[in-house]
């Protein structure tokens, strides 16, 4: 379980099929084998870890199912990604409840200045639009964000300067594809509406 509060920006240093090697700022001794780390919003299991300078390098294995539903298939050496460690009991829940189970891929349509922030507009696959509502939560590239407006398959969010500089969002451009996880509570409500008693 995660909160969508990014704690590090990692970099893919190697890829061998479905195995990825990622460099991060987390200390190796704090990462247990089998630990879950959200990588650009996708919950992945650490299969090996070793120290690397001030941080560490860890490996994850990615299934074909995950590759088909996320942006991970496009990752190569040099790709930078948002990272978040799994939530521990007693930790502050600063964002919203995020499972790390990516629902699909959204496309950035436009990025425009909005004061000191940046307004991002997205388009989502048809099946996900119904779960996105104004003032609701959404996880994009693992980042917990609040929806400003939603119409049809399009919606927008504002990203503040801190998030732009402390995550990968400052590097994004229109046309980029983004992992999206809709709010789990919206999904349950929609399911309940399908089968009323």
On the 0-12 / 13-18 / 19+ scale of CB atoms within 10 A, 102 is buried
139-171 pLDDT, tens per residue? 999 999 999 999 999 999 999 999 999 999 999
67-119 pLDDT, tens per residue? 999 999 999 999 999 999 998 877 777 788 899 999 999 999 999 999 999 99
Half-sphere exposure of 122 (CA within 13 A, CB side): 33
pLDDT (average), residues 19-39: 97
Domains of the chain: 8-85 (2.40.30.20), 104-194 (2.40.30.20)
166-179 pLDDT, tens per residue? 999 999 999 999 99
If one counts every other C-beta atom within 10 angstroms of the C-beta of residue 191, the result is 9
If one counts every other C-beta atom within 10 angstroms of the C-beta of residue 87, the result is 18
């Amino acid at each position: 379980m995660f909160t969508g509060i990014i704690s590090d920006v990692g970099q893919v240093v190697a890829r061998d099929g479905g195995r990825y090697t990622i460099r991060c700022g987390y200390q190796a001794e704090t990462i247990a084998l089998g630990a879950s780390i959200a990588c650009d919003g996708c919950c992945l299991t650490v299969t090996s870890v070793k120290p690397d300078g001030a941080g560490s390098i860890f490996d994850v294995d990615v299934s074909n199912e995950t590759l088909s539903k996320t942006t991970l298939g496009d990752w190569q050496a040099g790709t930078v990604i948002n990272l978040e460690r799994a939530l521990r009991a007693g930790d502050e829940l600063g964002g919203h409840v995020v499972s790390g189970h990516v629902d699909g891929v959204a496309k950035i349509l436009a990025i425009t200045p909005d004061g000191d922030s940046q307004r991002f507009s997205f388009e989502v696959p048809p099946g996900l639009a119904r779960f996105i509502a104004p003032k609701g939560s959404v996880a994009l590239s693992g980042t917990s964000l609040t929806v400003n407006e939603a119409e049809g398959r399009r919606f927008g969010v504002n990203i503040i300067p801190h998030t732009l500089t402390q995550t990968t969002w400052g590097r994004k451009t229109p046309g980029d594809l983004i992992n999206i996880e809709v709010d789990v509570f919206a999904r349950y409500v929609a399911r309940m509406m399908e089968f009323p008693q």
